[in-house]
Amino acid sequence: MSFLAVGVGILLFLLTSFSDPGTVTSANVPQYLSAYPYDNIIFSEKECSTCRISKPARSKHCSICNRCVARFDHHCGWMNNCIGERNTRYFMAFILWHFLICIYGVVALALILAGRLKELKVIYILTEYYGIENSFRALAPQVVQWLLGAYNTQILIMMFLALVSLLLAGFFTYHAKLCLTNTTTNESFKWQEHLSWQRKVSEAKASAEALKASLDELGQERKPQESKWKSFFRRSRLEELEVVKNNVYDRGFLNNIHEVIFPLSTRRSFWANKSKSG
């Protein structure tokens, strides 16, 4: 089982590192243009200045790999490969598998140390020969001290595996959320920039309208003064602003997961489609 676990981990590493992430070429660019239409929000029709081909929506030219990658997520330095449309599934499986291995290591070492405590009758010796009270508060420091003295290497490995598992869990959760909403890391940054810009534009318009309304009121007859409490609790126009993210690529979490596990370019229907512009 140990050899199998390590073997699967190595296999997922090789698949993520050496598989095609979804390279866009002149041969398949019409199919990618049809599969990923422009939303005209964060993606608009343009040409890659390096590859000299049309740039499909959701793609990006990686300066490190020197190629355009479909549904580009990010370039992973650990894998020395881009994470894109065709190998996101291997990348996610790699993170999940190593998270499970780390958790298994922590649990296995904990059970081994617990077995040694029972086998060597450490609790019995501490209570009977050293007169320590048989309670968790009294025994815990003594047991921890004994474990650190006798099995410091194993404790160190447990702490390391626990820390790595937490990091992997956070990393996997972040990318799982992106997959469920059919978004990539690259797109999340683009959305942040777009929403920030939209919010600033909306605030500027609201401020201009509020200023115009104030000037109009000055030109009209004096109205009864508004209650201070009413004016205090009245929401400003800036607070009522709401900028909505409209992700046209989000087809529901089941379809989104299906698209990650079975990429569009691996399906027969992908090669049957042709871009209208092509």
Catalytic residue set: 76
- Going from the C-alpha of 39 to that of each of 57, 169, 191, 212, the distances in angstroms are 8, 32, 12, 34
- CB–CB of 41/153 below 8 Å? no
Cα gap 66→49, rounded to integer Å: 12
Chain Cα centroid distance, residue 118: 42
Packing angle between helix 88-119 and helix 253-261, nearest 10 degrees?
Answer: 90
Of 9, 166, 171, the closest CA to residue 83 belongs to: 171
From CA 48, how far away is CA 54, in angstroms rounded?
6
**Which residues have CB under 8 Å from 243's CB, separation 6+?**
195, 198, 199, 202
